[in-house]
Amino acid sequence: MAIFRVARIDLSTEKVTEEVYKDDVLKKFLGGRGLGSYLALKEIPRGIDPFSPSNRLYIFAGPLSAMANLSTSRVTVVTKSPLTGSLTHANAGGNFAYWLRKSGYDGLIIEGSSEEPVYVVVKDGDVAIKPARHLWGRWTGAAVKAILRENGFPEEEKAAGVAVIGPAGENLSRIAGIRMSDYERFAGRGGVGAVMGSKKLKGILVWGTRDLLKDVKDRAKFIAESTKLAQRLMSGPTAKALHIYGTNLLTAVINSIGAYPTRNFETAYAEEADKLTGEYIKKNYVVETHACMMCPIGCTQHVMVKGGPFKFIGKAKYEYENTWSLGANIGLFDPEADLRLQKLANELGFDTISLGNTLAAALELAKMGKLPVNIDWGDAGALVDLVIRMANRSDIGDDLAEGDYRLALKYGEPRVFRGSRGQGLPAYDPRSLKGFALSYFTANRGGDHLEAYSPTWEVLGVPEKVDPLCETPECIEKQARIVIYAQHLMALTDSVTYCKFATLDREGIFEKDLAYLFNLAYDWDVTPEDMLTIGERIFNVERLFHVKEGKWVKDELNPHFRNPIPTGPAKGHTAAKMFDEGIKIYYKLRGWVDGKPTYDTLKRLGLEEFQYLL
């Protein structure tokens, strides 16, 4: 039997209550994103302002988190997003999930809001709320260190789990994330950092000594079997490449197939991207690599810029998405300026993808003469200036802090927003990857690459190669089926919790392995099909949140992607056909009508309790 123990912390009353979820719920939703979304759908009142005390943060590990060396130290944050006004989930690696579970809890629910800045300390089951006025305004790295120090830990990010927000979250930037130790890992998207800011919650420290394998019947077998899986995982080529280059091995690959968005998705190929590649940055700027707790892959790359106008103090964690969003997508191809912006984003506490989206929209508005700022693509100095202003909501930075969607609306040019459901898109042009197009447009949290990572098929050919540009009826149906499968698998990864990078090789961890591990750990008797049904259930619960809010229910194609790509290997392609034809097939396969689950679908998934929403 599995047990999922939650501390519900009300910052308005400073009351802490404990809740326990058992097999009846866990077998339907697991933990992480699944359980978080389920509770959010039940608990968050319809129509509230995401910044109101009635909003909640579900900061959940999963029932297998930190129990095996399988990249399982991930944590998901679910909340009503101030960016999209609907449900979001943001996921981070590092060691927070590990220390959260060690603390005695598997999840924290933060509700209410404090009058004064506070931080929360959870140590071996004890929850304390401490004043944080002295930490308000601090950069994320400094805040992590201060919280560790004040609680008797060494200033070493592995010593305990610490989640913090930076000035961006404090100042309610709708594109603020939560830094989740260790180093600069983030629960990035959807403005989760601003929700934390609205609750005047600067940080959370978790630590403890709980034995996570205590309730596993055959402890030795669980360890042996999960170790075997880890070894299999590491035999795959992508896992190995990730260890060497980190996520940014993708720049060269994605650009080479003409799917690399450039200058706010003006085109999908950057001729100037050579110095943004993983290979170039590895050679010139990476100073060390690092692994999340209990992860055999170890993809983290730490960089330094040791001189010049963009030199910064200390090291930064850098990623493919960040390199793109603060590089090619804002027309910037100087790797040092790019890394500087990444460091700033991490320290100020921004969602780096949305930060880049917003800067890109601002640049396009400025070029149109709509935004009263003299900036141009790749204008590194001005962009550094803008980012700092955004964190402090100063001058034009105040408008940018609202994010790309609202910025575009405010300045009368909604078409410069390139995303879905109010959230900007990540580093893949949907016109060049038709499967990913469908994945983007149907993603529940909007503008998303992590609800169904179809490049696994389209680019890596795992488990089989699918032509990313094919638009025959057969291809479209195949892509729709892949996206649906991937959506369920990703809902699983975020709820188990484990890392999506374990699903990029044939040798990776999939539903069969998960069923095996759950049965082993908790005496369950679930099948791989049951696991995928859990994924489907979670995905439908998230969609029901949109239905409840009456917002973003129907999937839409951002009109920009009806324009053909003007240059590069995928020149001439659009996302129109995949949307116009694919979405119908997708809905049919899902048992949905107009983006909405039917009663039959809910019934099949055991979600009848939500039929009142239909």
**Which CB, 383 or 585, lies closer to its own copies?**
383
**Judged by CB under 8 A, does residue 52 bind its own copies?**
no
Please identify, among the stretches 103-111, 248-256, 309-317, 523-531, the one whose residues bind its own copies according to the rule CB under 8 A: 309-317
**Judged by CB under 8 A, does residue 287 bind its own copies?**
no
**Which CB, 133 or 217, lies closer to its own copies?**
133
Alpha helices in 451-527 (DSSP H): 455-458, 473-496, 511-522
Residues 357 to 376 in contact with its own copies, rule: CB under 8 A: 373-375
Q: Closest approach of Cβ 276 to its own copies, in Å?
A: 17
Q: Closest approach of Cβ 164 to its own copies, in Å?
A: 11
Residues 325 to 354 in contact with its own copies, rule: CB under 8 A: 337, 340, 347
Task: Write phi, then psi, for 540 (nearest 5 degrees).
Answer: -70, -35
**Judged by CB under 8 A, does residue 183 bind its own copies?**
no
Task: Tell me whether residue 308 is exposed, middle or buried, using C-beta atoms within 10 angstroms of its C-beta: 0 to 12, 13 to 18, 19 or more.
Answer: exposed
**Judged by CB under 8 A, does residue 419 bind its own copies?**
no
In the set 101, 393, 431, 590, which binds its own copies (CB under 8 A)? 393
DSSP summary character for residue 565: P
**Which CB, 279 or 385, lies closer to its own copies?**
385
**Which CB, 336 or 429, lies closer to its own copies?**
336
CA dist 481 → 461, 466, 473, 600 (Å): 15, 12, 12, 20
* The token pair that represents 554 in the structure block: 């129907």
Report the residue count for the chain.
614
In the set 45, 152, 237, 381, which binds its own copies (CB under 8 A)? 381
**Judged by CB under 8 A, does residue 53 bind its own copies?**
no
**Judged by CB under 8 A, does residue 174 bind its own copies?**
no
Q: Closest approach of Cβ 11 to its own copies, in Å?
A: 17
**Which CB, 164 or 475, lies closer to its own copies?**
164
Q: What angle do CA 9, 14, 19 make, to 5 degrees?
A: 30
Binding residues with its own copies: total (CB under 8 A): 42
Q: Reading across the β-sheet that carries 15-21, which strands appear in turn? A: 15-21, 4-10, 107-111, 57-60, 75-80, 87-92
Q: Closest approach of Cβ 312 to its own copies, in Å?
A: 5
In the set 52, 289, 392, 598, which binds its own copies (CB under 8 A)? 392
**Which CB, 362 or 613, lies closer to its own copies?**
362
In the set 12, 17, 235, 394, which binds its own copies (CB under 8 A)? 394
**Judged by CB under 8 A, does residue 182 bind its own copies?**
no
Give the bridge partners for 300, in sequence order: 290
In the set 65, 171, 354, 444, which binds its own copies (CB under 8 A)? 171
In the set 48, 234, 382, 460, which binds its own copies (CB under 8 A)? 382
> Collapsing DSSP states into helix, strand and coil, what is residue 106?
coil
CB contact set of 504 (below 8 Å; sequence gap of 6+): 236, 238, 239, 242, 453, 456, 460, 462
CA dist 453 → 318, 353, 440, 458, 495 (Å): 20, 16, 9, 9, 16
Q: Closest approach of Cβ 15 to its own copies, in Å?
A: 24
**Judged by CB under 8 A, does residue 150 bind its own copies?**
no
In 3-state terms, the chain is what percent helix, strand and coil (to 5)? 45, 15, 40
* The token pair that represents 216 in the structure block: 């596993």
Binding map of its own copies across residues 120-149, x = CB under 8 A, - = no contact: -----------------xxx-xxx-x----
CA nearest to 336, candidates 375, 392, 378, 364? 378
Q: How many CB atoms lie within 10 A of CB 281?
A: 22
**Judged by CB under 8 A, does residue 309 bind its own copies?**
yes
* The token pair that represents 69 in the structure block: 């060396």
* The token pair that represents 161 in the structure block: 């789990």
Half-sphere exposure for 491 (CA within 13 Å, toward CB): 31
In the set 46, 313, 369, 600, which binds its own copies (CB under 8 A)? 313
**Judged by CB under 8 A, does residue 199 bind its own copies?**
no
Please identify, among the stretches 394-402, 425-433, 551-559, 581-589, the one whose residues bind its own copies according to the rule CB under 8 A: 394-402
Q: Closest approach of Cβ 375 to its own copies, in Å?
A: 8
**Judged by CB under 8 A, does residue 536 bind its own copies?**
no
| Dihedral sign for Cα atoms in the order 138, 139, 144, 149 | negative
Q: Which regions of 488-602 does DSSP assign to beta strands (E)?
A: 592-593, 596-597
Q: What angle do CA 525, 528, 531 make, to 5 degrees?
A: 85
Residue in the structure block whose two tokens are 């291809």: 475
Contact footprint for its own copies (CB under 8 A): 137-139, 141-143, 145, 167, 170-171, 305-314, 337, 340, 347, 373-375, 379-382, 384-386, 388-389, 392-398
